[in-house]
Amino acid sequence: AQSVTQPDIHITVSEGASLELRCNYSYGATPYLFWYVQSPGQGLQLLLKYFSGDTLVQGIKGFEAEFKRSQSSFNLRKPSVHWSDAAEYFCAAGSGTYKYIFGTGTRLKVLA
């Protein structure tokens, strides 16, 4: 069955530290991959997406993600976290159609 797994429910980092959020997918073929961010009381905002080509994808707010086919992973990274990055992050996958499967999310806490 198709699935998206985010192994870390909560992550805490200090402001200025680097960040990596993990995402693994299980699909029959390489899906389209996305990262969304959700702040409290807000909808989901698209950070970046991967369809094909360069496996390192740049997004908004200084985020990037790397697609690794051999590991079925699409991890999100940021070199230096800001307090405003505290939110919940969702990885999602779709097989070229409209229906996305979302992971259960990783809640990021940033320490001052």
Partner 1 sequence: GAGVSQTPSNKVTEKGKYVELRCDPISGHTALYWYRQSLGQGPEFLIYFQGTGAADDSGLPNDRFFAVRPEGSVSTLKIQRTERGDSAVYLCASSFDRVGQGYTFGSGTRLTVV
Site for partner 1, rule CB under 8 A? 4, 32, 34, 36, 41-46, 49, 51, 90, 92, 94, 96-105
> Taking the complex as a whole, how short is the minimal distance between the CB of residue 84 and partner 1, in angstroms?
18
Which CB sits closer to partner 1, 72 or 100?
A: 100
> DSSP of 19-69, one letter per residue?
EEE--EEE-SSPPEEEEEEE-TT--EEEEEEE-SS-SEEE-GGG-EEEEEG
Least spacing, CB of residue 41 vs partner 1, in Å: 7
Pick the closer one to partner 1 by CB: 53 or 96: 96
Give 101's contacts (C-beta < 8 A, 6+ positions apart): 2, 3, 4, 92, 93, 94
Residue with tokens 């905002």: 45
Taking the least distance from each CB to partner 1, the nearer of 12 and 45 is 45
Nearest-approach distance from CB 28 to partner 1, in angstroms: 16
